[in-house]
Amino acid sequence: MDGRMMAYPLTLIPLLERARQVFGSVEIVSRRPDRSIVRTTYADLHRRARALAEGLQRAGLRRGDRVATMMWNHSAHLEAYFGIPAAGGVLHTLNLRLHPDELAYIVNHAEDRFLIVDDVLLPILTKIRDKVNFERVWVNSFPGTTLPEGPESYDAMLAEAKGDFAYPDLGENDAAAMCYTSGTTGKPKGVLYSHRAMVLHSFAMALPDACAMSFNDCVLQASSMFHANGWGFPYTATMVGAKLVFPGPNVDGESLLDLICAEEVTLANGVPTVWIGVCDALDKHAGRWKVPAGLRVLSAGSAVPESLMRNLDPHGIRIFQGWGMTETTPLATMSHVDPEERKQAAEAQAQEREVPWDGQSLGELHIRGPWIAESYFNMPEAQDRWTEDGWFRTGDVVSIYPNGCIRIADRAKDLIKSGGEWISSVDLENALMNHPAVQEAAVVGVPHPKWQERPLAVVVCRNGAQVGKEELREFLAARFAKWQLPDAIVFAGEIPRTSVGKFLKSRLREQYSNWKWEP
């Protein structure tokens, strides 16, 4: 017997409508590429997103058509976040940092029909233009730039709107957005998000034990909106009516700190690299910024070095960690450390409990839930990423504590197999980065004639700092068994990264594959 409740689909449309009704005057602040600030409101978002939807329908958009964006973080990108799904289309955010060949592959695999592109990013479009087939391209121009011949103006399309747009009759399982995983191996794989997943994810993200995002927050969107839905912050902030701040392309430490202080940001997100930059700037220019009291920062994308948390703490910035993947919309679990080190339960979403939750036993994390992908877009050959009973295999090897907190030991492929034992590269990296002379460290398994694999550490020193290999080994020896210590330590100027800032370990493994171990 069914309940007698209204059939009210969970779509992004009520979020947009409610933002106008209830939060219409709340500010959305964007920094342009030229660093100037532009202020709009949720009422503007509502009007312009609807104008975009109207323009797309006028251009012949059909339900489910993919509309790509190639944009930085700013209010026009937020318009696309809402306007494209509101028109019945699928927002496809393109990762600007990919190689042109990969980008072209993704555009073609997704069968993107239209594109909205920032004028400052046209050089990227130029590189793929003859490999792809956009039916129409609209350019979002910033003041002071001249539109080149060819593409159309985004603002002109919006200006044509008559204001008579009517929402299509969307179901909650309709596709709303799409994002390709930036995996370091294999072809990029498309994840197709439903309206329902986005709405439920927003509810979860705002919960007090997740980000505690509220109407009273001022939210800095420092994670890229072209990757994993900007971690869902754009939708969550719009749902709760928080003031939103977009940094544009300038996400260096000083630029972010200027913005954080000027706008009195209370909640921000971003990959650890971004916050390392913030931390460095604070250390370098002591007293220059007065960070708003109680600033909370969600960091994710790769493990947050303990040293980063400790270094930001005296500046009054509290980091908490998220874990997720493109396939998980992306928030899947979150972990807070509070001043009393009180045990805090993570938002562990329904993991299978096949290994004991003892904080020790390792196993691959399998996950399921209403905002977890059930398959990739048009890629049946990748279906082995799901178990037969419907769980997604994350590829991360973890242990789970009794209170539900998850420790990510490693990506399955990054675990180092030494003489039948497993060594966590992440643990070694975090420990190395706790050394005051170390800026960054990556550890990979390298083939070894006797032990199958042994750990090799690539270390980047802080500016001007020096440290010996033996000192680092001794530093590690305080926390690791001898057989777990890296047999080789290599100093380097930088560590190769993926397009979203993660260590590109596949390249390191390749680079050191013929390493001559000392006997």
CA distance linking residue 331 with residue 202, whole number of Å: 9
Identity of the residue, 293 or 481, whose beta carbon is nearer to its own copies in the bound complex? 293
Can you say whether residue 232 is alpha, beta or left, with left for phi > 0 and alpha for psi between -120 and 50 degrees? left
Catalytic-residue membership of 417:
yes
CA distance linking residue 224 with residue 95, whole number of Å: 9
Question: 7-40 as b/e, with b when 16 or more CB fall inside 10 Å?
Answer: eebbbbbebbebbbeebbebebbbbbbeeeebeb
Do 432 and 476 contact (CB within 8 A), yes or no?
yes
Identity of the residue, 30 or 266, whose beta carbon is nearer to its own copies in the bound complex? 266
Identity of the residue, 178 or 456, whose beta carbon is nearer to its own copies in the bound complex? 178
Catalytic-residue membership of 187:
no
Considering 54, 79, 172, 327, which one is annotated as catalytic? 327
CA distance linking residue 178 with residue 197, whole number of Å: 12
Nearest distance in Å: CB 341, its own copies: 14
Q: Looking up tokens 């562990």, which residue turns up?
A: 348
Report cis status (omega within 30 of 0) of the bond before 85: no
Question: 272-301 as b/e, with b when 16 or more CB fall inside 10 Å?
Answer: bbbbbbbbbbbeeeeeebebeeebbbbbbb
Nearest distance in Å: CB 229, its own copies: 12
Considering 187, 417, 515, 517, which one is annotated as catalytic? 417
Nearest distance in Å: CB 173, its own copies: 5
CA distance linking residue 485 with residue 424, whole number of Å: 10
Nearest distance in Å: CB 354, its own copies: 13
Q: Kindly state the tokens that stand for 152.
A: 């159309």
Q: Looking up tokens 């068994």, which residue turns up?
A: 481
Q: Provide the 8-state DSSP code for 236.
A: H
Considering 93, 181, 273, 333, which one is annotated as catalytic? 181
Identity of the residue, 285 or 353, whose beta carbon is nearer to its own copies in the bound complex? 353
Nearest distance in Å: CB 375, its own copies: 5
Residues that bind its own copies (CB under 8 A): 1-8, 10, 14, 17-18, 21-23, 63-64, 90, 173-176, 191-197, 200, 203-204, 206-209, 212-216, 240-241, 329, 342, 344-346, 348, 350-351, 353, 357, 368-377, 390, 392, 403-404
CA distance linking residue 435 with residue 354, whole number of Å: 36
Identity of the residue, 175 or 423, whose beta carbon is nearer to its own copies in the bound complex? 175
3-class DSSP assignment, residue 406: strand
Identity of the residue, 42 or 142, whose beta carbon is nearer to its own copies in the bound complex? 42
Q: Provide the 8-state DSSP code for 354.
A: -
Catalytic-residue membership of 422:
yes
Nearest distance in Å: CB 213, its own copies: 7
Nearest distance in Å: CB 206, its own copies: 6
Identity of the residue, 76 or 206, whose beta carbon is nearer to its own copies in the bound complex? 206
CA distance linking residue 427 with residue 418, whole number of Å: 15
* Catalytic (active-site) positions: 181, 327, 417, 422
